[in-house]
Amino acid sequence: MYGYARNKDDLMNRLRRIEGQVRGLQRMVDEDTYCIDILTQVNSVTAALKAVGMGLLDAHVRHCVTESIERGDGDDKVEELMSAVARFSGR
């Protein structure tokens, strides 16, 4: 069972809302909405996805990583975490 299990419903709701926002973008394109207005909406979907990613990272550290450190074998988890953080922060 993974970190996000405790917030599975919340996570699912966020992802469904993001799916709706992406469909909204298709509608905007279809209806020839002004470029900058579509771009504003693209930025807000990106922000919502970043928040989902941050929530996953958070739950992962609080549970999976913490528990493996407590069991005395956190090294691989910490290694994996730090490359995930690097990719997540766009490096």
CA–chain centroid gap for 21, Å, is: 15
Query: The tokens of 68 are what?
Result: 């493996």
Identity of residue 41:
Q
36: contact with a copy of itself by CB under 8 A: yes
Nearest distance in Å: CB 76, a copy of itself? 11
Q: b/e for 57-83, b at 16 or more Cβ within 10 A?
A: bebbbebbbeeeeeeeebeebeeebee
Residue 91 CB, nearest approach to a copy of itself (Å): 5
Interaction of residue 31 with a copy of itself, rule CB under 8 A: no
- Name the amino acid, one letter, at 91: R
Q: Could you identify the residue written with the tokens 């929530």?
A: 55
Closest contact distance (angstroms) between CB of 45 and a copy of itself is: 6
Given candidates 6, 61, 73, 76, which one binds a copy of itself under the rule CB under 8 A? 61
Q: Is 6 in the site for a copy of itself (CB under 8 A)?
A: no
CA–CA separation, 56 vs 3, rounded Å? Answer: 8
Which residues contribute to the site for a copy of itself (CB under 8 A)? 1-5, 8, 11-12, 15-16, 18-19, 22-23, 25-26, 29-30, 32-36, 38-40, 42-43, 45-47, 49-54, 56-62, 64, 66, 69-70, 74, 78, 80-82, 84-91
